[in-house]
Chains A and B, each alone.
Chain A
Amino acid sequence: GAVVSQHPSWVICKSGTSVKIECRSLDFQATTMFWYRQFPKQSLMLMATSNEGSKATYEQGVEKDKFLINHASLTLSTLTVTSAHPEDSSFYICSADRPNLQGYGYTFGSGTRLTVV
């Protein structure tokens, strides 16, 4: 099964700064990664689909200039939250369309909890 490593696990930043979140596929090449965010007591909402070597596809209502996605290699996709504000505080998680260690489903990173103060 596949493994996706996501860093950092949590981060606290000041309003107006930018934060970069990384997802690395450790034992496979990920041509596609999916980025989600989850607000408290809400479900995971798909933000964008990240494609290696091309532009990401954003979901309706997600600002592409604020949430910059870079998928420059087959093992690394990054999400940068630019000019972060307190309302961007959320749980961000990536996923690859590869079976997990149990051999089925999709593989998720462990998530990044972002707090903007």
Chain B
Amino acid sequence: RKEVEQDPGPFNVPEGATVAFNCTYSNSASQSFFWYRQDCRKEPKLLMSVYSSGNEDGRFTAQLNRASQYISLLIRDSKLSDSATYLCVVNRGQAGTALIFGKGTTLSVSS
């Protein structure tokens, strides 16, 4: 089983749509959880950390369920600029361990 698994995508949505990405992870010892965004041929950029209580940053909402080892990202009111690949990322365990990336889900927002 892969350490981090994501929806395969791609997701093609119109501007203004709400879209949700899901992710599961296999290592129950993981302590840190993130969503990264990667644009074509660039390094990944941190979108947001994910906390057990759930957290929101503008149009983006992230949820974490440790019991089911499930992470989600909700994007509301999609913009053309949201088009990118979204990577679900967890660490291997205690602080300072390597980040493990999911394969990513590609989002394409059209006008």
Contacts and interface: CB of A to CB of B under 8 A. Distances in A.
A102 B100 CA distance: 20
B43 A111 contact: yes
B29 interface: no
Nearest to A100: B46
Contacts of A44: 44, 87, 101
* Chain B interface main SS type: loop
Nearest to A109: B43
A89 to B, nearest CB: 13
Interface stretch (A65-73, A79-87, A91-99): A91-99
A55 to B, nearest CB: 16
Interface of A: 32, 34, 36, 42-46, 49, 91, 93, 95, 97, 100, 102, 104-106, 108-111, 113
